[in-house]
Amino acid sequence: MPDKANPGPERPDILVSVDGEFTGPIPPLFSMISFGAVAYAADGKELSRFKANLLELAGSARDPVSMAWWAEHPEAWAAATKNPIGPEEGMRNFDAWLRSLGGRPRLMGWPLPVDFLFIYWYYVRFLGERPPFGKDGLDIKSYAAGKLGLEFGAASRTVKEDLDWLGIRVRGLEHDPADDADRQGRLYFALSARRP
Question: What's the CA gap between 94 and 36, in Å, rounded?
Answer: 9
CB 67 within 8 A of CB 23: yes
pLDDT at position 5 is 46
pLDDT at position 146 is 87
Residue 164 binned pLDDT confidence (cut-offs 50, 70, 90): low
The CATH number of the domain holding residue 76 is 3.30.420.10
Q: Which domain holds residue 115?
A: 13-193
The tally of domains found in the chain comes to: 1
Task: Specify burial of residue 45 (Cβ count, 10 A radius: 0-12, 13-18, 19+).
Answer: exposed
pLDDT at position 85 is 98
Residues 6+ away with beta carbon under 8 Å from 165: none
pLDDT at position 53 is 98
Helix locations, the chain, DSSP H: 64-72, 74-80, 87-99, 112-127, 140-148, 152-155, 161, 177-193
Span 185-196, average pLDDT: 85
* Beta-ladder partners of 35: 20, 52
pLDDT at position 62 is 98
* Beta-ladder partners of 15: 40, 106
Q: Report if residue 76 sits inside a domain.
A: yes
Q: Please state, in angstroms and as integers, the Cα–Cα distance from residue 92 to each residue in 48, 88, 130, following that order.
A: 17, 6, 13
- Residue 10 per-residue DSSP state: P
Span 158-169, average pLDDT: 55
Q: Which helix (H) or strand (E) holds 15?
A: strand 13-22
Q: Report if residue 67 sits inside a domain.
A: yes
Span 63-91, average pLDDT: 96
Task: Specify burial of residue 10 (Cβ count, 10 A radius: 0-12, 13-18, 19+).
Answer: exposed
Q: Report if residue 3 sits inside a domain.
A: no
Three-class SS of residue 76? Answer: helix
Q: Is the pLDDT of residue 196 over 80?
A: no
Taking the CA atoms of residue 138, residue 79, residue 51 and residue 58 in that order, the dihedral angle to the nearest 10 degrees is 90
Residues 6+ away with beta carbon under 8 Å from 143: 188, 191
- Residue 33 per-residue DSSP state: E
